[in-house]
Structure 1
């Protein structure tokens, strides 16, 4: 593995030298990874290793995929596996790779009026939310988090007006939730990185159904010939390499690891 990595590092160095003066690489990704601070930590190291600058467009997963379909991306890094696989199946992406994972958590107030902390399992937690007549705040923005939330509800949403859609990113949705003393679903990384927690806390977690896988895909130059395929592949190989995976594992907030690398090639 070490020899392979050294060979890869040499190849990256050669590509990086050729790319140092080229245009930037465009990464369409999610607000969760951006808000966590992961890119501020990782991408300068990638640029240092390769000479390739990466610029991130952070939106919901659904919008990131739509942007990539339109050719407004060289690389896509999101967390809605079924949609990612469809993106590749339709020819817009070359190949999808697992990159890392974390999990989703339910956020509520310290008083936890719906009693989620006492829930025996996920279905019990969801039923308590339906029965509580306490506001549940959804992102409602076609993001990976919103997609996951709808999958968990399985069509049995809380009655309106207790189900509220912000149409916003995770940070704004958390703020609205805390102001309303309600509940929401968040990826763990964004919650840990969120600055103004007030009396909010994690009230339900550690359930296998809350698993949150991230994937990475290079946009297909056969569909969009303008994309920077060599640089995109270099970024993907770097993130999947021993160095990239080690850096992902070492990224923390307040002593807590936010993402867990699980690249398989």
Structure 2
């Protein structure tokens, strides 16, 4: 049977249909535009969780990038231990000396300054050790040592590392003393223990501000340069751990130092506490902080 030739009008319609199909393929984002690995593991400190900062930032990041973030809030030491095993993709931590060792071991790449606040020493309103008015944190610790309860996190966190540095500067080893109790818990929980037992403790200002209403633990020592509390974001080294979500880690790190996120950090907490819980530092030098 002889086929009839296609009429010009149908040929024109077929040609238009092909044009629309090609245009649609060009306009539609390719699969590579979306994250290949959508899940991202963030190992961070309890302070970023307890203050509510991550509750503000993570939804912004997920909406902007399409990643789904699993946040594991532990001490900085535990967060870096996860990074050393390739069990996290990106870290947000505040233990500078430990971070430097982490980087020297090539476990992380692209360590970037994000923000800071400071540590403060809090304790019972009556201040039985009379640390208020001390000229330095080591001096305050010396007054507490031996006779008054000090509650330590004891969890190898950034806060615990700072506390140990102050004890060292004071020339005191508190380990084993009945007056020195370690909780092994996060900052918020440790503050609650100190409040319940009417003891002293070292805390980051952000967590204290977010919980102080129900604590009854006033700030008794602050402003010492040694109390500066600095946060960095670190991508876990993909070359050492191939399964790490390198693209997601970089996306999160870029997000944390972006102008938009730094603006949110700058005002976070002001409406509720009258002052920010953190100060944005992306692009600055550590040497210039606190000046």
* TM score, norm. by length of structure 1: 0.88
Q: How far is 1:77 from its partner?
A: 0.8
Equivalent-residue separation in structure 2 for 1:241 and 1:100 (angstroms): 12
Which structure's CA Rg is the greater one? 2
Q: For residues 34 and 110 of structure 1, do their structure 2 counterparts lie closer, same or farther at Cα, with a shift above 3 Å needed?
A: same
Q: Among residues 265, 269, 275, which one is paired with 1:256 in the alignment?
A: 275
How many residues are matched?
251
Q: Does residue 142 of the first structure (1) align with residue 159 of the second (2)?
A: no
Which structure 1 segments of 5+ residues have no match? 1-12
Equivalent-residue separation in structure 1 for 2:32 and 2:254 (angstroms): 13
Q: Does residue 118 of the first structure (1) align with residue 137 of the second (2)?
A: no
Q: Does residue 157 of the first structure (1) align with residue 173 of the second (2)?
A: yes
Q: Is the 8 A contact 1:29 1:59 kept in 2?
A: yes
Q: Does residue 212 of the first structure (1) align with residue 223 of the second (2)?
A: no
Equivalent-residue separation in structure 2 for 1:15 and 1:100 (angstroms): 35
Aligned Cα root-mean-square deviation (Å): 2.1
Equivalent-residue separation in structure 2 for 1:207 and 1:163 (angstroms): 22
1:191 corresponds to: 208
Q: Deviations over 1:40-77 (max 9, x none)?
A: 01111112222222221001111111111111111011
2:69 corresponds to: 54
Q: How far is 1:14 from its partner?
A: 9.9
Which structure 2 segments of 5+ residues have no match? 1-28, 285-291
Q: Is the 8 A contact 1:16 1:51 kept in 2?
A: no
Q: For residues 200 and 71 of structure 1, do their structure 2 counterparts lie closer, same or farther at Cα, with a shift above 3 Å needed?
A: same
Q: Is the 8 A contact 2:238 2:246 kept in 1?
A: yes
1:67 corresponds to: 82
Q: Deviations over 1:14-55 (max 9, x none)?
A: 999512x74311100011111110000111111222222222
Q: For residues 198 and 259 of structure 1, do their structure 2 counterparts lie closer, same or farther at Cα, with a shift above 3 Å needed?
A: closer
Equivalent-residue separation in structure 2 for 1:208 and 1:198 (angstroms): 25
Q: How far is 1:230 from its partner?
A: 1.2
Q: Among residues 256, 261, 269, which one is paired with 1:239 in the alignment?
A: 256
SS in 2 for 1:185: strand
SS in 1 for 2:155: coil
Q: For residues 51 and 82 of structure 1, do their structure 2 counterparts lie closer, same or farther at Cα, with a shift above 3 Å needed?
A: same
Q: How far is 1:199 from its partner?
A: 2.3
